[in-house]
Amino acid sequence: LDLNVDDGMIDGVKAMGTFLKIAMTEPDICKVPFMIDSSKFHIIEAGLQFVQGKCIVNSISLKGGEAEFLKQARIIKRYGAAVIVMA
């Protein structure tokens, strides 16, 4: 299940958290693999806090520089998530 809440009209952190809190309480839904997707890393990190089990982050890249990439990769690793890396 690919979840992306990027929209200028909504609070992405709140929307991500609300959806995932609900999804994690549904027995049939919480078993499905989740892909957390956003162009804003703080929204991705908010989503990682709510997912139970392993999920996938879509995606991080080096366009923000190597230091930012490594910082994001460490955060993702801390949550035990897999990641798609854009070259």
At 87, is the pLDDT very low, low, confident or very high (cuts 50, 70, 90)?
Answer: confident
Q: What is the 3-state secondary structure (H, E, C) of the chain?
A: CEEECCCCCCCHHHHHHHHHHHHHHCCCCCCCCCEEECCCHHHHHHHHCCCCCCCEEEEEEHHHCHHHHHHHHHHHHHCCCEEEEEC
- Listed as own residue / partner, the contacts of 62-67 with beta carbons closer than 8 Å and 24 or more positions apart are 62/87
Distance CA 85, CA 62 (A): 9
Tell me: the pLDDT tens digits for 16-73? Answer: 999 999 999 999 998 899 999 999 999 999 999 999 888 999 999 999 999 999 999 9
| C-beta atoms surrounding 56 within 10 Å | 17
